[in-house]
A = this chain, B = another copy of it.
Amino acid sequence: MSDVKKILGNYSTDITRTIEEELSAITPNNLAEASVYLTRAGGKMLRPALTLIAAEAVGGNRESALKSAAAIELIHTFSLIHDDIMDQDDMRRGMPSVHKVWGDDVAILAGDTLFSKAFEIIIGNKGTTSDQNNKSLATVADACVKICEGQALDMGFEERFDVTEDEYMEMIFKKTGALIAAATKVGAIMGGASEGVIDAMYEYGRLIGLAFQIQDDYLDLVSDEETLGKPIGSDIGKGKMTVIAIKGLASDDTGRLLEILKDDENSNEDITEAIDILTKCGAIEYARNLALESIKQAKEVLEILDDSSSKQMLVDIADFVLERSA
């Protein structure tokens, strides 16, 4: 597993440098600093690395996809900044979130700026055809619409405790899966893949994206605060619907889980009790199995590709999604 982190680390140097270059001209200073802050805080760079690896795995080269990869990461960062405002999450990547440091207003603007820059970067990409750039732009724009829709669905769920699993799966596809799918698809486009391979790479990204979000929900309950960079059980504290909560509510006859989810002022003991209920009724295990199945399918989709070290990396990353601890 440390191998995958090392692979991501290798790609992240190029991506971080590209992002720093692209953001260097932003003024005034506070906007520039707020815009680059989360990149410097050191994310995993999973999405842009996927773009680069996908480009290589379809027979293209890393350089042709580098700008698009940076753009994908900026879209991800934009959505984190705006989501943290909406979700009132005060920590991100183990540091105070952008709105905690600069306030909501600058955080809104920093997100908007990164969004704009992402499109500017793809438009200005050299070494690929304008058809490739256009397809990549269309893919990214589609993902952006879906991210917004997914976040709106997610916020709508917060007032509801009767969310179905189907509704939940649509939400996480839009909120998380769509951008990861765009990341691998854009890599395939920039790498010069055929339509069939481009579609397969989107499906691979979609599937690991679903597993990624389910794993996030899982880690919120089974990780520890230091590793995760935020308190354990924060989703329960906020009454947030996850596939785990949905399954748990269906199994819990006592009504205690619903009570805790509805309560705005849970104690640590309440959170622990809820996690205990979710463990005993098998909801946590159910979610884990759902993620495992998605990853199995994602690896099957990769069979369309010729064998290569980059293809193997995609297999390893699929496994990594489930083995990561933060």
Instruction: List chain A positions with a Cβ less than 8 A from chain B.
Output: 26-28, 30-31, 82, 85-86, 104-106, 108-109, 111-113, 115-117, 119-120, 123-124, 130-131, 133-134, 137-138, 141-142, 144-145, 147-149, 151-153, 155-156
Contact = CB atoms under 8 A, between A and B. Distances in A.
Contact of A134 (B31, B133, B145): B133
Nearest to A117: B145
Contacts of A115: 112, 115, 144
Contacts of A26: 145, 149
Given A113-B148, A148-B113, A137 B123 contact: yes
A74 B117 CA distance: 17
A149 to B, nearest CB: 6
A148 B110 CA distance: 8
A131 to B, nearest CB: 7
A119 B140 CA distance: 10
Given A109-B151, A119-B141, A120-B145, 11 more contacts: A30-B152, A30-B156, A86-B109, A109-B152, A112-B144, A115-B144, A116-B145, A119-B119, A120-B138, A120-B142, A124-B138
B86 A105 contact: yes
Contacts of A151: 109
A131 B141 CA distance: 18
Nearest to A31: B152
A116 B137 CA distance: 10
Contacts of A130: 130-131, 134
A272 to B, nearest CB: 29
Contacts of A105: 85-86, 155
A155 B120 contact: no
A108 B86 contact: yes
A133 B119 CA distance: 13
A119 B137 contact: yes
Nearest 4 A-B pairs (CB), nearest first?
A116-B144, A31-B152, A120-B141, A113-B148
A112 B148 contact: yes
